[in-house]
Structure 1
């Protein structure tokens, strides 16, 4: 299995990064992102959230890549192009310090952020798809561009195969991954780590937070 994953990974390196095609899109009112002009994407969420703030008032963000249906996405070029464009724009706004001030209630500005990338619910068939591997590697390589703004981060619910993929991504995102702690599928091992740095009322219940938790904002990259 390890050899198969490596082969898929090496094959993906030979694929050129997909160009963003022109498309009919509209702006999401609150998030400043493009939204694909299609009803097909409504049923599938490629969600990015700002949960809240840590004890140092740094914004805590979350993406559940395990729930992103990338097998579906790579078969829908319009929606894939929208996600790639939105991801690029989001990264650029992070680099310029423009994204988080849009949602802050105070005048205090920071260009730092915290990330939680969750692989809970991942369909392992996705990691045997060349096209999906390419999208995931693209995402990691883009996150590398904002490694300097990352205060710290967590990758959680990473099973053995997911950990192998993360190791493969290090050439693309080494600086980013150096700032991220990787944890497996047992919440008892990583929830205490999160709660040492992030108040309980700033996290969803699945991450040890309060049952009445509400994120500051939820954006859909598609």
Structure 2
């Protein structure tokens, strides 16, 4: 693990020298109303080219009508994209860039009334399922860190957020990435795997009715909309 920590630090000083690519125009696969079970889609379909595997969803809205986005980053198979070669890694980075652009443009915002729209959103990033295998290669670690750091581009649009199920491995990556996404991280509350610590914090800011049970929500929860990142 000490060796891995050194590798992460070396990567962090070399990966972010160039500007991140901007997102290309693409359509999200909107599966509005699909039921969630556990931390994954109950009726996720087997689709070619990774569709359905890199899910994020509009969970609902907080007490101030800000959109709540949940990103199950720990379940995204980053290594498969990184190791398959071709233009997969570039396409994934562009997809994350496109997601950031959508945040900047208010794509997820709820219209409060005809003359007013909430400009900021809320995010829950869940690293449940992430293990060393996912980022154990040079290519997978590079893709993981560069993609995550792109969220810095929309830091001003994040009112607040939660990073949950952050293992020591995740903490190492976040620490190494802090110089490149510090403004985004300042708005996040970071928690480990003990949900008894972070569920009360989430419920102080987001109604139970707007959350999946994994985050303290109700058992009959349905997301507003489900998308695939890639």
TM-score by length of 2: 0.80
- For the 8 Å contact 2:29–2:227, the answer to whether it is kept is no
Among 67, 76, 86, the residue aligned to 1:68:
76
Q: Distance in 2 between matches of 1:184 and 1:122?
A: 12
Which residue number in structure 1 is paired with residue 42 of structure 2?
none
Which residue number in structure 2 is paired with residue 47 of structure 1?
55
Which residue number in structure 2 is paired with residue 87 of structure 1?
96
Which residue number in structure 2 is paired with residue 219 of structure 1?
227
Which residue number in structure 2 is paired with residue 10 of structure 1?
10
| Mapped pair 1:59 → 2:67 | yes
Q: What SS is found at the alignment partner of 1:115?
A: strand
Deviation at 1:89, TM superposition (A): 1.6
CA RMSD in angstroms comes to 2.7
Which residue number in structure 2 is paired with residue 202 of structure 1?
210
Deviation at 1:209, TM superposition (A): 0.4
Q: What SS is found at the alignment partner of 2:178?
A: helix
Q: Distance in 2 between matches of 1:17 and 1:126?
A: 24
- For the 8 Å contact 1:12–1:131, the answer to whether it is kept is no
Larger deviation, residues 148-157 vs 125-134: 125-134
- For the 8 Å contact 1:113–1:151, the answer to whether it is kept is yes
Q: Distance in 1 between matches of 2:2 and 2:123?
A: 28
TM-score by length of 1: 0.83
Which residue number in structure 2 is paired with residue 179 of structure 1?
187
Deviation at 1:150, TM superposition (A): 0.8
Gaps of 5+ in 1: 32-37
- For the 8 Å contact 1:141–1:172, the answer to whether it is kept is yes
Q: Distance in 2 between matches of 1:187 and 1:40?
A: 33
Q: Distance in 2 between matches of 1:8 and 1:204?
A: 32
Gaps of 5+ in 2: 32-46
Deviation at 1:11, TM superposition (A): 3.8
Which residue number in structure 1 is paired with residue 27 of structure 2?
27
Q: Distance in 1 between matches of 2:218 and 2:145?
A: 33
Deviation at 1:193, TM superposition (A): 0.5
